[in-house]
Amino acid sequence: MYTTIDMRGIQNEILELAVRAGVAKNKTDALGVAVLQLNDKYGLLDRREDIEDSEELRETMRLYKSGKVKAYSEHEWQELKKKL
């Protein structure tokens, strides 16, 4: 993904300091580090997986209620696996 970002003021100063301090090779890398820090702080990828799991569960429940999928008990599942 390519993005043009106009950073001014304190944001730009922080990026420049990150480069001078050797935290990042350039401002683009410093932004990449910042994005990773956002994920570490807020767990955004974990939330995305939770949202995807929730959407999948909703779809499964919709299919179950419509009769398009069947839920098996543990015993029924074990018996079905034997037949496969």
Residues 51 and 79 in one domain: yes
Domain count, the chain: 2
The structure's pTM equals 0.54
Distance CA 12, CA 74 (A): 58
Residues 30 and 61 in one domain: no
Is the per-residue pLDDT at 51 higher than 80? no
pLDDT digits (tens, 9 = 90+) for 60-79: 878 878 888 777 778 888 88
In a domain, 2, yes or no: no
Range of the domain at 38: 10-42
Residue 45 is predicted with a pLDDT of: 79
pLDDT digits (tens, 9 = 90+) for 1-20: 777 888 899 999 999 999 99
In a domain, 25, yes or no: yes
In a domain, 51, yes or no: yes
Mean pLDDT score, 46-53: 78
Residue 17 is predicted with a pLDDT of: 94
In a domain, 63, yes or no: yes
Residues 27 and 50 in one domain: no
Distance CA 62, CA 60 (A): 5
